[in-house]
Amino acid sequence: MPSTSPSFHQFSTKLNAGPTYKYDTTDHRTKRCGKTAAEARARGCHFDPVSFAWLPEECLDRELADEFRAVNWTLYADINATRAISEEEFSDDRTDTFLTNENRRLHCVYSWMRLHRSMQAGKPLHSGLSCDHTRYCGSALTADRPPKEIITKALVIYPAC
């Protein structure tokens, strides 16, 4: 069961689109990337647009992220998909960001692949890739929703690594 602690960000879904997932934005480990995009940049962190996360170098999997970014990965500034936004605009964490059900599913597949690659390589995994996130993704992957429907509001996270 996801925590209801106020230290969690809501990973929103469209009306009656199924369960929501709360990203843990605090952790007892050192928060190396801060709480804003400006702090993250100043600390040498990098934005992973597929994880929606600012991460320190040791928590990145650039090869996997680049593979997923090469797919038709479009982010939108509104739920009606009237304006696409860039990864840079998303990373600045100053605007609402929405994605299609298809891209939400890609995010979930990426997250699972990231989990396995991290275990195989012995690399750290960020705190946003939790068991609750796996349950959320199981629901997202089995939901019967049109692929191009804008269903998810993505929030930038600053997880522990």
Taken in order 109, 37, 17, 8, the sign of the CA dihedral is: positive
Looking at the predicted structure, is the pLDDT value of residue 31 above 70? no
pLDDT at 14: 43
pLDDT at 95: 82
What tens digit of pLDDT does each residue of 151-160 get?
889 989 999 9
Provide the percentage of residues in the chain whose pLDDT is more than 90.
54
Taking Cα atoms as reference points, which of 30, 46, 64 lies closest to residue 161? 30
- Domain borders along the chain are 8-154
What tens digit of pLDDT does each residue of 61-78 get?
999 999 998 887 889 999
